[in-house]
Amino acid sequence: MHDICHLDSDWFVNALATFLIIGLVVSYCPQHLRIIQMGSSEGFSPWFLLLGSTSSAAGMLNMIALSWPTIQCCNDVSVGKCLEITAGVTQVVLQWVLFTAILVLYMIYYPARLKYVDIDIPAHGTLPPQHVKTKLLSDDWRLSVNVSWAVTTHLVLITIVTFFLLLTRIQEPDGEVPRQISLWATCLGVSSALLAAIQYAPQLSRTYHSKLVGALSIPMMIIQSPGAFVMSISIALRPGTNWTSWAMYAVSGIMQSALLVMCIAWKFRQRRLKIDDFGYSLDSSSSTPLTDDIDTVVGEVSDPQVGDMSFDSDAEDAREDVPLLAKPRHSARSSRLFGWLRL
């Protein structure tokens, strides 16, 4: 442990770590601020948030497990040296905090009008159908709450297992990482990389079929795409880590780069068709998208209390194959900060 705790300072690695920490905050803050300023998280896919949160949590605990001897050095060195040798851990913890904050904001600012099922009841004669609000929870809101509990349960379980192994570890004579911790860290790292790959697959498919950029931030992706590869290199240079620690960030960088290229292509297409990021004409005040890729959707109420009745689901906002966020519309903030914990 003496060698790990008293490694010579590497100005390049330290500068790289500092740059990445600042870059993480700069790249995520616009998304956090946008949700807060709009007062709505409408359009986010719960599956995207589920996979991203669990992936970042697994990657964080993988890094903590493999860097535990380095973390323990903070008991014997100065604060400055502690911050220097644990910069890699700080990066992955910050990554998890910033992404999970999106999920938290998503639940807090979930539009109240989308939490319950609305039903159109046919009227007699030529009268328009009557729009009725019910007390039935919408399928998307139920899914969102279940996703939140799944993320919390996953985090609690893998945290308990990780720290149980770390606190009961028996130091190997040769100083190597104990086999059980190595196997658990590998499991966390591989699952993190797989979840990161799956995380972007639905978004790539949705953006491809919608042929619109929507609310996806091209500047954010320009920062994060190369940043993921730089972060992979930074983590790989840290003592005690292996390929499972940086694989998630490499996979994320590849997938996000593909999404960035696709969005740039759609940006040129939108300019040629003279439409905005949501498919609306730039030459008129029409509120109807001009592309054929966005249609009005009619859903069905699956709750047995109502039966097979049709209801309007706010057109493209309820579709899973539209851009990440629908055309911006302000909505009231949820009255209770933790009201989403109850179904």
pLDDT digits (tens, 9 = 90+) for 83-102: 878 888 888 899 899 999 98
Helix 139-167 with 179-210: angle, nearest 10 deg: 160
Task: Give the CA distances from residue 295 to residues 50, 304, 314, 330, in Å, rounded to whole numbers and listed in that order.
Answer: 27, 27, 10, 22
- The answer, yes or no, to whether residue 71 has pLDDT greater than 60, is yes
Q: Which residue has the higher pLDDT, 279 or 59?
A: 59
Q: Which residue has the higher pLDDT, 328 or 222?
A: 222
Determine the pLDDT at residue 9.
Answer: 67
| pLDDT above 70 coverage of the chain, percent | 70
- Answer yes or no: are the C-beta atoms of 248 and 189 closer than 8 Å: yes
Q: Give the predicted TM-score (pTM) of the model.
A: 0.68
Cβ within 8 Å of residue 41, ≥6 positions away: 35, 105, 106, 107, 108, 109, 110, 111
Cβ within 8 Å of residue 183, ≥6 positions away: none
DSSP character string of 126-145:
TPPPEEEEEEEEPHHHHHHH
- The answer, yes or no, to whether residue 57 has pLDDT greater than 90, is yes
Determine the pLDDT at residue 285.
Answer: 53
Angle at the Cα of 208 from the Cα atoms of 204 and 214, rounded to 5 degrees: 85
Beta bridge partners, 299, equal: 311
Top-confidence range, 1-5, 113-117, 185-189, 336-340: 185-189
Give me the mean pLDDT over the 56-64 stretch: 91
Give strand ranges (E) for the chain: 116-121, 130-137, 298-300, 310-312
Give me the mean pLDDT over the 37-59 stretch: 84
- Answer yes or no: are the C-beta atoms of 278 and 235 closer than 8 Å: no
Confidence category of residue 155, pLDDT binned at 50, 70, 90:
very high
Confidence category of residue 305, pLDDT binned at 50, 70, 90:
very low
Question: What's CA 156's distance to the chain center, in Å?
Answer: 18
The two three-digit tokens of residue 6, written as one number: 């008293």
Specify the 3-state DSSP secondary structure of 146: helix
Determine the pLDDT at residue 340.
Answer: 44
